[in-house]
Structure formats: C-alpha cells, structure tokens
Structure 1
C-alpha cells in the first residue's frame, strides 16, 4: 500500500472549482503514475491545501473494508482549513488502521499550539462502527505531514555546522518533537525512525540551499512520519466485537528525505514499512447470496472460489461457461475451483 500526504497544495478558488467539477488533479496524477504498477486509489480526502491519498495493490482490495475519511480544521480558531488534519481509516486484513496527515502551526514558539491542535484533531475525529471510533483506538496509526516542529536553543550557525559536518545527532536532543514524545501524554507510544537525513526546511525554492532571505529561518525537521501500535487487548471490545485478529507488528525499512526535489521550500520525506499481519487460523467468513428475481436457472450455473495472491479466497459467480469475475485478471482464474 502507498499513502501520500500533501500540504500547502494550491487551493485558490479557480483550482478548487476545477477540482470540484472534475477529478482532483493530484488524484489523477498519482493514479497515472501508480496504475502501471497495479495500484488502485482506495480513498482520498482533501481539506483546502491538505490532501491524503491511499493506494493499494488490486489483489488486496477484497480485504480492505470499513473505509472512512474525516478532516479537522484548526486554522483561525477552527474555521480555516489551511492547518489541521485529514485521515483515512480502514480495516486491513481484520486490523483497524488509520492514516493521519497533518499540517500544524508554524514558528519556533508555537510548540504548545501544535500540541493543542494535535489533541483537538484526535478529539474531533470520530468514526462510525462498533470498533475504533477514535484515531488512537485503531490497531495501527500512521501520523505524518508538515508537523512544523523546530530545533530549540541552538543558534543557526551551530545548526548549519552540525549539518555540514554530518553530526546530526547533536541536533536530535533539541528537536521539539523528540522532546515532546517524552513529555506530552498525547504522544505516548508514537515511534519514529532515526533522523539520519538533513533537516527538510527551509530551503530557497529551486535550490538545495537553506534559507538565505532576510529572515534566515533556522533549519528544522518539520516533515515527519511516525507510527503507533495499539497494545493488544484481551477479550471483546465495544459491542462484543473483537478489535482485531491475530498479531500485528511493524518494522521501518527506510526513512529518508529527497533532496532532488526543489519545487518547494521543503524537501519531501518518505518511509517504507513492513507490516506483519497474522490472522487467526481457521477463521472463515460466512457468505450469503440469493437469486435475482426472474433469474432463469440452469444446470450450468456455478459458484467458484479462487486464491487472491497469497492471502486468501474470493468468491466468483458465473453462469454457464462464462465467469463473471468483476475485472479480476485472467492469470488468477487457473486457481478457481467450481463446485
């Protein structure tokens, strides 16, 4: 799966009207790029200049359920969507997962405001269903975006010296988000890989040079990707439903920035995760179906099951010798069995 979070996308009136009348241009762009690799757009949500898109390989689609989106404005006291958070939540192989893309307040002195806005987003976003109503109720949360945390205390000369000398560890302990993870209860349990790449803000647009304007903003790791695994719960959850099936584990394989992009004053950040999903063995789904009114029965009617990738089974229904396989690629059909 691929989740893409964007911030400060052009949200002028003419752009928003075009996106409202036609397919969102960002969705079209990423679909054009990813569709040759068999990715399908699962869901997208936009709040002015903040966009979240979630893609998945086509063979995962039967196992993605309960897809919902939400957004929370925090700009101008909650009335403007230039700041805030957008989310996509869904069940992935029986585990509730939430992707949260945020754009939090800027400037060094606004750390407390960032904490308050993040707490507001967590409080305001509520989903329907018997399980995982709030963001932190999910089995796995990916939190990312322009979180705008800065480097405290150290002056700009020392920060640039540490970057040029590749001694980034000297900056980590003064990073506001690293400090907050050990002091803010709302961030308890969130994990992040080591910041082994240079601060991603602020650059002169079109270059790899840090801010040379009169303001000379101090470099900072404003663009971050974190995750949190919910501790396993015993017994049944709300409404008698089991919150998830089996064991869930996450390993971060890569965490990096991309200096080659110069169209923004930020450098984009990417992470690759391996998510291990273990489902309960011997657990079957009950499938019910009924004949359509006026359907003419035949001894050639059949229902088949075939394997989807290496994950499980998907039902097929056919009439006579023609399979109605809902667009499933033909290379999967040799796995079918007819009863």
Structure 2
C-alpha cells in the first residue's frame, strides 16, 4: 500500500439519534465509482458529528451520550460488513459538548496506528460547547517500511449559526487555532502482540512531529469537517426570495440551478479574503445545498422505496439554502513536497436523512505514504499563536458545561422532570409524616 485511503463524513444530527438502518444503507453512497477504495473498504473512516444529542446528555456525557455514539458504531459496522465483509475498529470516540468525533480503522490497519492525541475547545458563551471543536492526532506507520508513514490531524467542528454571523464564524476559527491544543495520550499499540516500546517501530510511531500541540503540525495532514455554518447570503430571506431557491429540475446555468446560489457562498469569499481557514482547500462543490430541508423532505426520506428526488429539494423558507456542511483539508503539509499532495477521489452529499434538516457530506481522499524526515519544529503554518491559557480556559468551561448539563437534565428531559417530581413528592411526604409525628 503506497497510499492511505480516508473516507470523511460530516453530519449535523439535529439533536436526534440516527435511524441506523437508513444511515448504514446510505453511508457509502458518496464513494466514487472509479478510483474507489480497496476491495476491503477505506483504510480509515471519520465521522464528524454536530448536535449529536440534546444539550443535557451532551454536556453530561458518559452513559448519557453513549447510546448516540453506539448508534453510529452500529451503522458503520453494518454498512462495512454488508458491503465488504470488513471489520472496523473504533479508535476515537470523543466530544466537545455537542460536537462529536469518531474515527474507525480497518482491522488490518489498526495495528499500525499510534494511540490518538485529543484536543477540545468550545465556542459558546464563556467557552462552553454548544458550539465547538474536537480533534484527534494519529500516526500510521507503513506495514512494509516502518520508516515511512502518515501523520493525520482530524477535526470535527461546529461554528456559529445564522446568516449575519460571518465575523463570529471567523472568530471561531481563530479560537480553534489558538485553543484547540493536543495533549499526549497513552503508549503506542503495535500489532503482532509484541512489546516493542523500545523498538525502532515504536519510536517512529511516537514520532517527534506529534509534540507540536496546535492543529498545524509539521508534516501532518489536516482534515477539518463539520457544520461550518457559512451561508449563501448575509441577511435572512424574505418571502419574495423563496421563489429564487434552487429547484431539482433546473437546467445548469439557469436562474434556479443551485450553481447560481453558490456564487454567494460566504465561506469561499471569506477564505479568498484570508479571513478564515488559512492554507486550507476544498474540493469543487457539485452537489446541491445541504441545509435547510423542511419536514416534508425528511418524511419522504423515511420511505426506502421512493425514487422521486424532488422531495429532497423542499426547503425551509426562513433560511437561505446553503452549503453549511463542509470538509476542508491541507493539500500538502508543511515540509513535504508536491509528491505528498492529497489526491481527492470524491466529494459529494449523501441523501436527506429522516432525522435531520442537514444532508451529510462525504470526502474521499488518497494520502501518499512517504518517508518521514527531520523537520524544524519552529516552522509552522498556523496563522495565530497558541493561547498560553488554553488549558485553564477549557477546564473552567467544562465545569460550566457540567452545571448547564445538570440544569438542562432536570428541566428539559422527561427523566429529569420525573426526578424533580419524585424529589418534591418525597420532601412533602417526609414533611407531612414528621409534622404528624410531632403534633401528636
């Protein structure tokens, strides 16, 4: 294998647990017909998940959030087994508030991956994670030549919403660069079951390029996907604007073809002005907007036999149809030449989901495996320096997330309401009993 094949999917779950059957059936729809992954499937599968669960469960985490992640694991396992008969190992499951990241490696690839380094940051009020980013950094070492490999930095993100919040989204990107900082994790796991901590292979997998804490690391490929929330207009649509929304049967070049709306894409504009995502690239967009689909579109998606694509183009009237869901990448890492350039194999949207007003988006790439080389750690492509107080800020935000999660659990969930009611009844019952005892 002279290249690592990665399949990256970003999906806004709209706070709902996925329909496992629907998601698994369409998970690999965006894989290209030509230049497709190996007969066993992609080497690595990435899921960037936004609004993965209601705020109470997402902020409390643990067993509250586990069922939501488990549904995606089940969908990946079902889809891969049915398509290739392959088994994938879940090597990363983490979240920053309501934004989650899952990374799966094919079982024969997993043995040659380093333990992941993890980073988290929130973009919400005082840094809490109603919006935020979570990242993982891993290394792959070639099966045939341990001196060669690939370093990956993978980020799931959810930026500020609404048409007029462009500056806030750009500020969220800056926060990501300054405060999404990776911390070292456990020891390296090499295949074959041998203790190789002192071996050449282990040393290479724990390569010094991982010591760079920020999202831009020398020789590391960077993939960033999520609900970046950039819209196609700087204001909310009026009733008259709805007639200009894209239509499924529009001819290319016509006024109602989605390509007309793409001309107003905020993300492309802001990147060209160097206001955000400095140094990153995106494959050409050749699919319709991924947001915001109305209830009729979601209802139609529940029917596995429907073939009419028109329901997928039923838009919510109070938002401009937009390409909110995007995947960006660093074409060639700092310190590597053109021979190390990422090769894009496919970039497309998956079908409308019955549980979300967003369409998932998937990117398929081939990443060259090359010999590792010594690099100057002081060289960086980062547009902003790391915030020296990132750890303190994140710890404080996590405490606030837990408090908000507890309050939301008690006030916004059936279980919490039941607990509050039971507690109230218990207190009044105890008071009544004690009052009766002392009054006799």
Q: Structure 1-normalised TM-score? A: 0.70
Rounded Cα–Cα distance in structure 2 between residues aligned with 1:194 and 1:165: 19
Query: What is the deviation of 1:187?
Result: 2.3
CA RMSD of aligned residues (A): 2.9
8 Å CA contact 2:92–2:104 kept in 1: the answer is: yes
1:110 aligns with 2:160: no
Report the alpha carbon displacement of residue 69 of structure 1 after superposing the two structures with TM.
1.1
The alpha-carbon deviation at position 21 of structure 1 amounts to: 3.3
In structure 1, what is the Cα distance between the partners aligned to 2:106 and 2:323?
31
- How many angstroms does 1:170 deviate by? 2.6
**Gapped regions of structure 1 (runs ≥ 5):** 235-244, 282-339
- Equivalenced residue count is 267
Distance 1:107 1:15 in 2: 22
User: Are 2:89 and 1:40 aligned?
Assistant: yes
Query: Residue 27 of structure 1 aligns with which residue?
Result: 69
> What is the rounded CA distance, in whole Å, between the counterparts of 2:348 and 2:338 in structure 1?
31
CA contact (8 A) 1:168 1:196 kept: no
Match of 2:270 in 1: 180
Q: CA deviation at 1:202?
A: 0.8
Aligned pair 1:136/2:216, yes or no?
Answer: yes
Matches within 5 A, 1:220-231: 220-231=322-333
245-254 or 165-174: bigger deviation:
245-254
User: Pick from 364, 370, 373: which aligns with 1:272?
Assistant: 364
- Which residue matches 2:227? 146
2:259 corresponds in structure 1 to 169
Offset, 1:27:
3.2
**Taking structure 1 as reference, are residues 164 and 204 closer, same or farther at Cα in structure 2, changes over 3 Å only?**
same
Shift of 1:255: 1.2
Per the alignment, residue 343 of structure 2 pairs with: 251
Q: Is the 8 A contact 1:136 1:230 kept in 2?
A: no
Which structure carries more helix by proportion? 2
Aligned twin of 1:217:
319
Deviations 1:39-63 (A, max 9, x none): 0001111123211000001111232
Spell out the pairing of 1:282-301 with structure 2 (5 A cutoff): none
User: What's 1:233 paired with?
Assistant: 335
Partner of 1:330: none
CA deviations over 1:10-32 (Å, ceiling 9, x no partner):
23436766x51378223322333
Higher relative contact order (CA 8 A, sep 6+): 2
1:87-120 Cα deviation digits (max 9, x unpaired): 1111123432111111101111111110001110
1:231 & 1:47 partners in 2: Cα distance? 26
Which is strand-richer, 1 or 2? 1
3-state DSSP class of the match of 2:246? helix
Task: Determine helix, strand or coil for the equivalent of 2:74.
Answer: helix
Give the whole-Å Cα distance in 1 for the aligned partners of 2:166 and 2:58: 32
Q: Deviations over 1:219-264 (max 9, x none)?
A: 1110111111344428xxxxxxxxxx99533112111112342321
Which is further off, 116-125 or 62-71?
62-71
Q: SS at the partner of 2:111?
A: helix
Q: In structure 2, what is the equivalent of residue 239 of structure 1?
A: none
The answer to whether the Cα contact below 8 Å between 2:55 and 2:98 also exists between their aligned partners in 1 is no
8 Å CA contact 1:255–1:270 kept in 2: the answer is yes
Answer yes or no: is the 8 Å Cα contact 1:98–1:141 preserved in 2.
Answer: yes
Q: Secondary structure of 1:114's match?
A: helix
- Answering whether residue 90 of structure 2 is matched by residue 9 of structure 1, we say no
CA contact (8 A) 1:246 1:277 kept: no
Q: 1:199 to 1:246 in 2, by over 3 A?
A: closer
Paired residue for 1:57, among 80, 99, 106?
A: 106
Matched residues in 2 for 1:12 and 1:173: separation? 35
1:157 counterpart (243, 264, 284) = 243
For structure 1, which segment, 224-233 or 118-127, has the greater mean C-alpha deviation from structure 2 after superposition?
224-233
For residue 13 of structure 2, what is the aligned residue in structure 1?
Answer: none
